Amino acid sequence: MATDMAKRFGKVAVLLGGDSAERDISLETGHAVHDALVAEGIDAHAVDTRDTPLTFLLEQGFDRAFIALHGRGGEDGVIQGALEVLHIPYTGSGVLGSALAMDKVRSKRVWQSMRISTPDFVEIVDATDLGVVEERLGFPVMVKPVHEGSSCGAARVEKAGQLEAAWAASRQFDDRVMAERWVVGAEYTASILQDQALPLIRLETPRVFYDYEAKYVADDTRYLCPCGLPEKRERELNALMLQAFAAVGASGWGRVDFMLDEQGTPWLIEVNTIPGMTSHSLVPMAAAQAGIGFNELVVQILETSLSRDSLRQGVRT
């Protein structure tokens, strides 16, 4: 079996680390992925893109790449485009899907055009937009960078006097910042694997919201899977999440985060095209509920690179 795996996938580079704000999480994800692939008999090697030029992949004869990079430079289409130029097949979404999903404003506009509910928002370009936020959205609002993940730079703002400071804090992570209407309700996430939605997870935290601390550090975050919704309702929501995922051009695997308000209406928040694969991560939890172990999950994600094998001959898919 190990020999078959090695032959099927060839030499695999697990791209990790990088230099985004999510570097530490990427290192944890990447090493977990690398260890799982090696355990399955696959010739996998960890490659930190911060310290290694991508030409190294050609020089060392890698056959494909498992992208375990989070945030900008890894999740926004940049690394995907570079790998296409190098004719190296890779996991997950392509250039367009990665770039569009990473841009929270543009992905929301796509959903709005399809009449998929997503909270109203205002992009804060300059100080004059602060008044627009109050007038159009009211308070509270969520202020966050347009191109960051893991809740980096995100904050709940309760009143107008806090808005400018939150905007300034978010700008430390990204030149583009948005304010989003706060949805009162329960938070859920839908994991996507090879065009199938895994069981939903309901997230509960005593913190103000599911922030970086709640995601990666705190021990009091609760992950409910099964999520507690009726089976029919869960199927309906998963179908909607698959639609939203495809709408932004995402493919292969990923995660869609959404809220259910007090009336039961779903509100799309964002798509993650390279979710975490750490001890606190959601996709492995959902996969386990579906009977898919961690190593098997990692192999199935690696399989998403097979659809791009024509890149080896320089033919775009």
Catalytic residues: 22, 150, 216, 255, 257, 270, 272, 276
Three state DSSP letters for 238-288: HHHHHHHHHHCCCCCEEEEEEEEECCCCEEEEEEECCCCCCCCCHHHHHHH
Q: How far is CA 196 from CA 9, 33, 91, 228, 243, in A?
A: 22, 21, 16, 20, 11
Are 173 and 157 in contact, with CB atoms under 8 Å apart?
no
Structure token digits, residue 74: 């890894």
Strand, helix or coil at 70?
coil
Which residues have C-beta within 8 Å of that of residue 51, sequence separation ≥ 6?
A: 17
Are 186 and 259 in contact, with CB atoms under 8 Å apart?
yes
Closest residue by Cα to residue 130 from 167, 181, 182: 167
Query: Which DSSP symbol is given to 20?
Result: S
Helices (H), 138-275: 163-170, 212-216, 231-247
Structure token digits, residue 288: 């386990």
- Dihedral Cα 308, 311, 316, 317, nearest 10 deg: -20
Are 20 and 70 in contact, with CB atoms under 8 Å apart?
yes
Give helix 231-247 / helix 104-113 axis angle, nearest 10°: 110
